[in-house]
């Protein structure tokens, strides 16, 4: 298991106990989907949601790296709609996504820009 994340946490009762950015009610899965589906950079995400001053691109990249490395498995954290979440997939109309794969693809795209 890697070192604990400085930015990814889970708090019971906050966002369903899913992985969030520390100090914020922002689920890691939502940032991942926004960046991946919209081909955004962390700076684009920050600008879109007016997060300048309270969230940095480095924190977003750390959350993506956390996800890509499947560190959640060792930490016992889950994300909404992620195939690594054992509770996902119970609804046949809501297919879970490979969040760790999307995070890897997004990080690779950002590295090659």
10-residue mean pLDDT series, the chain (113 residues)? 77 91 91 94 95 91 94 88 77 79 96 92
**pTM (predicted TM-score):** 0.86
Give the residue numbers spanning the domain of 87: 8-111
Residue 3 lies in a domain: no
Residue 95 lies in a domain: yes
End-to-end Cα, the chain, rounded Å: 30
For residues 70 and 84, the answer to whether their CB atoms sit within 8 Å is: yes
> What is the predicted pLDDT for the residue at 40?
96
pLDDT 10s digits, 68-90: 999 988 888 888 888 888 777 66
- Tell me how far apart the alpha carbons of residues 48 and 50 are, in angstroms, rounded to a whole number: 6
Q: How many domains does the chain have?
A: 1
Residue 2 lies in a domain: no
Residue 103 lies in a domain: yes
Residue 21 lies in a domain: yes
Residue 13 lies in a domain: yes
């Amino acid at each position: 298991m890697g070192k604990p994340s400085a930015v990814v946490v889970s708090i019971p009762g906050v966002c369903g106990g899913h992985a969030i950015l520390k100090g914020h009610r922002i689920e890691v899965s939502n940032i991942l989907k926004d960046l991946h589906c919209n081909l955004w950079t962390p700076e684009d995400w920050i600008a879109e949601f007016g997060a300048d001053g309270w969230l940095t691109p480095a924190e977003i990249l750390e959350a993506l790296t956390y996800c890509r490395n499947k560190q959640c498995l060792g930490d016992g954290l889950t994300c909404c709609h992620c195939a690594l979440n054992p509770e996902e997939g119970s609804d046949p109309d809501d297919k879970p996504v490979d969040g760790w794969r999307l995070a890897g693809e997004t990080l690779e795209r950002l590295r090659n820009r």
